[in-house]
Amino acid sequence: MKNILMVGAGSVGGFFGAHLAKSNPNVSFLLRPKTLAAVKQNGLTIRSASGTFTVHPQAAADPGELPKPDLIILGVKAFDLDEVMTQIEPVLTEKTVILTLQNGIDTEDRIIARTTRDCVVGGVAFIYSKIASPGVIDHYKKGAVAIGELMGHESDRLLKIKELFTAAGIPCHLSKDIRRSKWEKMCWNCVFNPITVLIDDKVAKALDHPEMMRVIHQIVDEVAAVSAAVKVPLPADIAERVVKATQEIRDIHTSMYDDWKAGRQTEIAYLNGYIVQKGRELGIPTPVNEAMTAMIKTITGQDKKGFGVVRIDGAVVQPVSLNSAALQQLPAEHHVADVSTVMPGMTGRAVKVKGLLDVPALAIEADHVTFHSLDGKYAATLTLQQARDFGLLLYELNGEPLPDGKGGPYRLITPGLGDLCANVKGVGRIEVRVGNGKDTRPPAEERTQC
């Protein structure tokens, strides 16, 4: 195995790839543009208590620009697998071997399903590191891998991969049952990744509360039940082993916690979410993992924004975002089923701005409201009382979302204001204000009757 391609230079791929590149000039990296630019300019740096070093490997965003690989090591997140496979498929040959270092269970099977050949060696990474900035990895603890053939045999390619890691100073254990090794790590991941997010703290806080021990056991018991159902039995005391193994790393956060704090996507769907999905398929109840999945998705979900969402912010205690489904759930008294009853010549369903402004708690001194178009080009400012008394947000026409051509997805109309008409198309933001705000309407004397 001469040429090695490391896919990704994050907390896992960056650490192991840099160590391999330090002792092997035939290691190259497939990177995303931002990381690629940083590595090309400054190299890939590992900062650790044992020392800091920088390597300057070959790197590209297109694998076709790099030496054709004999070994590809995947150091990316589980949710990036399909995108990565599409990238690397053009450089795969009948002899290319792919080593996986992802969290989760199904990575290897997904790759085999796409390649339809025996090209995969399973791997488990044991490391605590973080991305300090693109191309800079801070390493704190551990830094070892376990690798194994999915059928459990000791192959020539497995021994060659072990030699590569050993030569780079990376502890590499040969697992005779890599699927079981992955399920054992899955137990740990399903416990501490979501819990550190929920408690917003290190694993120690969970370990030090007796009440949490029962929760940990329930999570692991559900994982073990699913594992046994797919014919990978785990030790009866696996929950105790998970707790015991965590004592020496009790000061850490987790990769899910770090991803959450950095505003990145988490792997919850491939950890607890996977257990829930398999449990449903197999008829195995997984209520605690289902609760963990739901809570993590809720906590880490990005704020709704963009087309189809209206955000209310400014002089409010807490900004809120609502889509069409949320608007329709507002009390019936806030809706106008047919705006032609209040504005002849116009049709459609609308929600009263008063109902929208009742959702967030407004600042005590708020006295104006500015309605902004989604593209930021247009705006109209009304007094708070005008907005409450006359404002309507048109959102539906003939039972369908209001189309762009009619000012959708949300169009402000103000029947009853006469020449103070505040028609703004494509409303995407409602800004509660103290004092007057932006207004792109023509001067009052030029406005037509509404």
Q: Which pLDDT tens digits describe the chain residue by residue (450 residues)?
A: 899 999 999 999 999 999 999 989 999 999 999 999 999 999 999 999 889 999 999 999 999 999 999 999 999 999 999 999 999 999 999 999 999 999 999 999 999 999 988 999 999 999 999 999 999 999 999 999 999 999 999 999 999 999 999 999 999 999 999 999 999 999 999 999 999 999 999 999 999 999 999 999 999 999 999 999 999 999 999 999 999 999 989 998 999 999 999 989 999 999 999 999 999 999 999 999 999 999 999 999 766 556 789 999 999 999 999 988 899 999 999 999 999 998 888 889 999 999 999 999 999 999 999 999 999 999 999 999 999 999 999 999 998 999 988 999 999 999 988 655 678 999 999 999 999 999 998 776 555 544
Domain with CATH 3.90.420.10 in the chain: 309-446
What are the angstrom distances between the C-alpha of 120 and each of 153, 235, 372? 13, 26, 52
Q: What is the pLDDT of residues 47-99, one digit of tens each?
A: 998 899 999 999 999 999 999 999 999 999 999 999 999 999 999 999 999 99
Domain with CATH 1.10.1040.10 in the chain: 178-301
> Which run of H or E residues covers position 58?
strand 58-60
Q: What is the DSSP string of 103-145?
A: SSSSHHHHHHHHH-SS-EEEEEEEEEEEEEETTEEEEEEEEEE
- Nearest-CA neighbor of 242 among 185, 288, 196? 185
> Under a CB-based contact definition with an 8 Å cutoff, are residues 367 and 374 in contact?
no
The dotted CATH code for 178-301 is 1.10.1040.10
Fold for the domain defined by 309-446: Sulfite Oxidase; Chain A, domain 2 (3.90.420)
Q: Is 211 exposed, middle or buried (0-12, 13-18, 19+ CB in 10 A)?
A: exposed
Give the whole-angstrom CA distance, residue 140 versus residue 145.
16
Give the whole-angstrom CA distance, residue 361 versus residue 384.
13
State the helix-helix crossing angle for 287-300 and 272-282, rounded to 10 degrees: 140
Domain with CATH 3.40.50.720 in the chain: 1-176
Q: Provide the CB-side half-sphere exposure for 117 (13 A, CA).
A: 10
The dotted CATH code for 1-176 is 3.40.50.720
Q: In what order do the strands lie in the sheet with 309-314?
A: 320-323, 309-314, 427-433, 368-373, 379-383
In three-state secondary structure terms, 353 is helix
Q: What is the pLDDT of residues 328-379, one digit of tens each?
A: 999 999 999 999 998 888 889 999 999 999 999 999 999 999 999 999 999 9
In sequence order, the β-bridge partners of residue 28 are 5, 58
Give the whole-angstrom CA distance, residue 179 versus residue 147.
10
Tokens 């048109």 correspond to: 394
